Structure 1
Amino acid sequence: MARMELKDVTKSYGSVEVMRDINLAIDDGEFIVLVGPSGCGKSTLLRMIAGLEPISGGEFTIDGARMNEVRPRDRDIAMVFQSYALYPHMTVGRNMGFSMEIAGAPKEDRARKVAEAAKVLGLEKLVDRYPRELSGGQRQRVAMGRAIIREPRAFLFDEPLSNLDASLRIEMRLEIARLHQALKSTMVYVTHDQVEALTLADRIVVLEAGRIQQVGSPLELYERPANKFVAQFIGSPTMNVLPATPDEAGVRLPQGATLDLGREIATLGTVELGIRPEHIDVVDPAQGDIRAKADVVEHLGSDTNIYVRTEHQGGLMVRVHGNIAMTPGAPLGLRLQRENLHLFAADGTALGRKPALAA
């Protein structure tokens, strides 16, 4: 296992700085997931850790040793890419043990290591097959087995499941979770998939425009986002954000309803309210904080997603547990659960949730 740390790391291409002020400590055995929109720098950061991209400024250490100038092969890190990159003319077993083969390891040692990795990944019956005879999920397991055999200090994953279909993604997500539990190794994982991030990570690192926006546990980021960007990026469907005007009683919505969030809110100036779709109750139009009309209704079985149109707030999204009878165009009232409201300042900084504000 390995403890890794990035201190004031920057990355530039010529005069263009694409990453700055990257400070992150990764503990031994921790599973870190890097997320963010396309172009935010998550794959670049992973490649700097691997040594495939030079670090322009700052310092990267593994167990206290500076790694900036150390070659990728000497960092003792294994990387699993989006592409399986298997040798088509080699069997599964030889693909997995090829790094030991080119290093001159004895044949019996290679066979033992391949057997151990195959057992961990459920590939025992496939070691004599060729990649063309495997499914996508099986090929990705072979790619992970190739990394396991090296017994590295840390594993890096660059969107390893993005080429798989939905059912295989679920299967492989469970495989990676089991792998981490079995090996207890340090893992850094890049993905754009919300479910992968929230279910696999010990901590999530949210990146945007080359900067870290927040680092925390999945639940912390979901319930206590540091700013509006994180609030709307973490969680699917995304958080609703509504304009609001502070007054003596709390905040006033554009339709005129006032939410009692405490008199201290009046000193904050311009604010926005955040509320997740599952924290909005559907009520009689006369009893809601917001009057709306159903626009699109999605029946998902376990839940119902209702996209609504309002007169002043534009579109909002509501998630209701179970199936409810709702047709497009139907009038409805929306009641915002006070205990689950988030407040954001004009610059997007989170001001807290309602209970914290009232304390």
Structure 2
Amino acid sequence: MAEMELKSVRKAYGNTEVLRDIDLKIEDGEFVVLVGPSGCGKSTLLRMIAGLEPISGGAFTIGGQPMNDVAPRDRDIAMVFQSYALYPHMSVERNMGFSMEIRREPVAKRKGPVAEAAQTLGLDKLLDRFPKALSGGQRQRVAMGRAIVRDPKAFLFDEPLSNLDAALRVEMRLEIAKLHQRLGATMVYVTHDQVEAMTLADRIVVLNGGDIQQVGSPLDLYDTPANLFVAQFIGSPNMNVFDVTPVDGGVRLGNGTVLPGPAEARHLGIRPEHVEIVEDSGDVTATAQLVERLGSDTNIYTDIDGAGPLLVRVSGNVGLKPGDRVTLRYNPARLHFFGADGAALPRT
């Protein structure tokens, strides 16, 4: 049973609070991703779960058992770090089975778990190689295999893909997702990359400044962000946000356009993919500033007269160039409204 629960957990270094009143329950077999900008406390929280950092206040349990004062080696948790930390003088097989070796398990007993983990990760033909003869992705697989061989209650990943190039990150992201499906183990994963968070997580925990901003499924956070920070952090490209002022019948943009919306709204948001370019009458006109052709999609950076910049994302290619005038139409059902404090408001 690898259900984890943090109740009012806090972390402080002297008078500096890093994490405040963290309440989070991670179900057995769940894949939870901790995401946020640098310095938000996500890696510190992961290290507290692992026992590598002491908890300053609150309670942490695994399977209902208190863990605050339990040593890391006794928590039955395996951790995969950003650095592979492989022993260069050991073969892949020995690196993967080293946790069993230091427990003085006989060689014959190590063979089975190592071979099974190697098969799962596609390393079965590389067991005799040394780390210097492996690619970055293969080394990360070895680090994951070392964790699997321990057969822990839970896996913790601390930005394991940040040292890899773009193609390898995609490949390893798929490997980690398949690994979770095969093992059904509880996994907690730290990243600053919200694409990794969206594609891997059962639930995402968004942190900022030591506080949890929102917890939910990837689509919950995408469709109904709790506040302006989550709205702009989740989703790629970022959500467009405009300052608005309340008027009779709704809210007004800087160019005078009035949209239906709550009177408390001070910010309006719309995602780039929820704006379309039209030939006939639309909602606003703008000037194309930059056109990014990505193949499957095109990003058009525009400037709305009197209102400011707006990024539009369309499928496929469009025949636009900087300086062209475009007519834009938004999807009214996809508008997001936020109050002066940044909290999300109900849609009208």
TM-score tier by shorter-chain length is: over 0.9
The match for 2:38 is 38
Q: Which amino acid aligns with 1:293?
A: T
Match of 1:132, as an amino acid?
A: K
2:282 maps to 288
User: Matched residues in 2 for 1:102 and 1:303: separation?
Assistant: 52
| 1:252 shift after superposition | 2.1
Partner of 2:113: 113
The CA distance in 1 between the partners of 2:344 and 2:259, in whole Å, is: 18
Deviation at 1:310, TM superposition (A): 2.5
How do residues 141-180 of structure 1 correspond to structure 2 at under 5 angstroms?
Answer: 141-180=141-180
1:231-281 deviations in whole A, cap 9, x for unaligned?
0000110000112223332222221222234xxx23x2x521110000011
Q: Show structure 1 runs of 5+ residues with no match.
A: none
What is the distance in 1 between the residues matched to 2:334 and 2:231?
Answer: 13
Spell out, residue by residue over 1:146-196, the C-alpha distance to the aligned partner (whole angstroms, 9 max, x if none): 000000000000000010111111110110001000000000000111221
Amino acid at match of 1:178: K
Match of 1:298 in 2: 292
Is contact 1:224-1:352 (8 Å) kept? no
RMSD: 1.2
Q: Deviations over 1:16-42 (max 9, x none)?
A: 111101000000000000000000000
User: 1:302 is aligned with what amino acid?
Assistant: S
Tell me which amino acid in the other structure corresponds to 1:328: P
1:314 pairs with one of 290, 308, 318: 308
Classify the secondary structure of the residue corresponding to 2:97. helix
Larger CA deviation: 125-134 vs 242-251? 242-251
Which of 270, 292, 297 is the equivalent residue of 1:275?
Answer: 270
Aligned to 1:189: 189
Write out aligned runs for 1:95-106 (5 A).
95-106=95-106
Q: 2:95 & 2:66 partners in 1: Cα distance?
A: 32
Cα contact 1:76–1:154 (8 A) shared by 2: yes
Where in structure 1 do 4 or more consecutive aligned residues deviate above 4 Å?
none
Are the aligned partners of 1:8 and 1:22 in contact in 2 as well (CA < 8 Å)?
yes
* SS of alignment partner, residue 55 of structure 2: coil
Q: Cα distance, 1:314 vs. partner?
A: 2.1
Instruction: Report the Cα distance in structure 2 between the residues aligned to 1:252 and 1:81, rounded to whole angstroms.
Output: 48
- Is residue 84–residue 139 contact of structure 1 (8 Å, CA) maintained in 2? yes
Q: Which residue matches 2:140?
A: 140
Aligned-partner residue type, residue 242 of structure 1 = F
Does 2:245 correspond to 1:245? yes
Is the contact made by 1:255 and 1:290 (CA closer than 8 Å) also made in structure 2? Answer: no
Equivalent pairs counted in the alignment come to 348
Which is further off, 80-89 or 308-317?
308-317
Structure 1 CA distance, aligned partners of 2:260 and 2:198?
32
Structure 2 partner of 1:260: 260
What CA deviation, in whole Å up to 9, does each residue of 1:77-109 have, x standing for no partner? 000000000000000000000110110111111
Residue 138 (structure 1) shift = 0.5
Q: Mind listing any 5+ residue stretches in structure 2 that lack a counterpart? A: none
CA–CA distance in structure 2, aligned partners of residues 201 and 246 of structure 1: 38
Whole-angstrom CA distance in 1 between matches of 2:308 and 2:4: 45
The CA distance in 2 between the partners of 1:119 and 1:283, in whole Å, is 53
Cα distance between partner residues in 1 of 2:58 and 2:260: 47
Quote how far apart the aligned CAs of 1:48 are: 0.4
